[in-house]
Amino acid sequence: MSWSFETDNDFQEQLNWIDTFTREEIEPLDLLFRGPGDPWDPESPAAAAMAPLRAIVKEKRLWACHIGPELGGEGYGQVNLGLMNEILGRSRFGPSVFGCQAPDSGNAEILAHFGTDHQKKKYLQPLLDGNIASCYSMTEPQAGSDPAQFTCQAVRQGDEWVINGEKWFASHARFSEFLLVMVVTDTEVPIHRGASIILVEKNTPGMDIMRNSAVGPYAEQGDGVHGYIRFTNCRVPADHLLGNEGEGFLVAQTRLGGGRVHHAMRTVGVLQKAMDMMCERVLSRTTKGELLATKQMTQDKISDCYTQILQYRLHVLYTAWLIDKHKEYNREVRKEIAAIKAATPKVLQDVIYRAMQLHGSIGVSDETPLMTMWANIPELGMVDGPSEVHKVTVARTVLREYEAAPGLFPSYHTQTQRDLAMKKYGHLLPNEE
Ligand SMILES: Cc1cc2nc3c(=O)[nH]c(=O)nc-3n(C[C@H](O)[C@H](O)[C@H](O)COP(=O)(O)OP(=O)(O)OC[C@H]3O[C@@H](n4cnc5c(N)ncnc54)[C@H](O)[C@@H]3O)c2cc1C
């Protein structure tokens, strides 16, 4: 029996513990610490509140579970990670309390694969321990989803790289100890062979954060965590190049594949939380003499939400299972990751909208988490690349498995097929006299 939808008993016990711990100890943080960088910024007031919770998680051996045993992680695999993340997704603080928060989780993977011993000691260990934050900076003000338009350039001069250009929406740059910056190192070749990733330490002269943009309802203008950065003759040592020169996109793949699937896993948690709220509400509210839950139009919404969440959840877990099976982000895996990435905003939009609608006025107020969930939807259609680009990946990979019709009519043309069927089985037909 090679297909199974069951969780090991031992791991289920851990999941039960994570569920209770998240609801009782972590979710209250969301109500009190609402600053845009609170879950990630080691200097935020929330850090002190998270510290004892992190200690408990470490003691339980559930810390940084995305990291393999070679780096001191538990190596639970992506399916188990998916089951964990869908619980942690209930809270903005869940991933940070469990040491698997983006973008640090992906950046740690890059450092683990490509960092020098010195960089690993200086940055990887503190990052894995949750003591510092990090940033991944690729998008530029004039170009996000089209890397061919990237212009931020690094030129080798002696033992140094000299960086000039601008970066945009570099999350957490303002409190990060280091940034992994995608730069053009060869302008003569296509960008996928001419870009590299360079580690830039905080406070390196020549790197200036010009402003920080905010997303959603968390911050006043200017108080965001997404940095607009300018590099002006910013010099970094030559060995800060991660991976080979010109292989920046290969290096980036190390983090983006995992990052996207983890976002999707956490989205399952958000969806389930919205569903829980919706179900409690319709069982609590009456109108025209009966419970909302008994109205067929309510049942239509509940049923659609249940089905959509289950379909999405199984797709996410299937993708996680594929990663565990192949142990790499091959084409098959990348297709599924792109598909769930593209599906994410739509399922959120459908489920959260229905939940808000069924809650009435309180559903659109600031007195439930629904409006915050709603405000985050466009973000998930954009972060790590817009849905359209992921749909292109899915469609291209799917179409690779097909060929054009051999002749004028389709290969499934009924008349042609019937003629072939006649040749094969026609002698068995009863004679029509
Ligand atoms: C919350 C948040 C955090 C982020 N954090 C980071 C970060 O830490 N580091 C970082 O480098 N970047 C980060 N980004 C930036 C993100 O990667 C970009 O927003 C994304 O790649 C899109 O780039 P863009 O914003 O320049 O939009 P554009 O590239 O201008 O695209 C705009 C729109 O054009 C359409 N479009 C684009 N390409 C296609 C296509 N091929 N076919 C059809 N339509 C298309 C889509 O509708 C798309 O939404 C973050 C973004 C958000 C929202």
Sorting pLDDT into bands at 50, 70 and 90, what band is 408? very high
The H-or-E segment that residue 162 falls in is strand 160-171
CATH of the domain at 155: 2.40.110.10
Instruction: Report if residue 212 sits inside a domain.
Output: yes
* 47-51, 64-68, 306-310, 371-375: range with lowest mean pLDDT: 64-68
Judge whether 409 lies within some domain: no
Residue 326, domain CATH = 1.20.140.10
Question: What is the structure's pLDDT at 1?
Answer: 65
Domain contains 423: no
Query: Cis omega before residue 147 (within 30°)?
Result: no
171 domain residue, yes or no: yes
Would strands 241-242 and 134-137 be described as parallel, antiparallel, or unpaired? unpaired
- Please tell me whether residues 220 and 318 are part of one structural domain: no
With respect to residue 124, please indicate whether it lies within any of the assigned structural domains.
no
Testing ligand 1's pocket by substitution, the residue of 101, 137, 145 carrying the most ligand atoms inside 8 A of its CB is 145
CATH number of the domain encompassing residue 96: 1.10.540.10
Residue 121 lies in a domain: no
Nearest CA to ligand 1 atom 36: 388
Last residue of a domain, one of 242, 268, 297: 242
Alpha helices in 23-103 (DSSP H): 27-32, 46-59, 78-88, 94-97
> Does 310 share its domain with 387?
yes
Per-residue pLDDT tens digits for 214-250: 886 655 666 799 999 999 999 999 999 999 999 999 9
If you average pLDDT over every residue of the chain, what do you get? 94
Pocket of ligand 1 (CB under 6 A): 103, 136-139, 143-146, 169-171, 215, 226, 379, 382-383, 385-386, 388-389, 392
Q: Which residues constitute the domain of residue 103? A: 9-115
* Distance between CA atoms of residues 433 and 355, nearest Å: 66
351's tokens: 């489920």
Tens-place pLDDT, residues 90-115 = 999 999 999 999 999 989 989 988 99
Rounded mean pLDDT, 301-310: 98
**Single pTM value for the model:** 0.92
Domain co-membership, 277 together with 380: yes
Q: Is residue 433 part of a domain?
A: no
Based on the domain organization, do 298 and 371 belong to the same domain?
yes
Instruction: Kindly state whether residues 381 and 283 are assigned to the same domain.
Output: yes
Ligand 1 centroid to Cα of residue 119, in Å, is 30
Residue pair 243/196 in contact (Cβ under 8 Å)? The answer is yes
Best residue among 169, 344, 393 to mutate for probing ligand 1's pocket (most ligand atoms within 8 Å of CB) is 169
- Domain count for the chain: 3
109 & 38 share domain = yes
| Distant-in-sequence, close-in-space partners of 382: CB < 8 Å, separation ≥ 6 | none
Do 324 and 362 fall into the same domain? yes
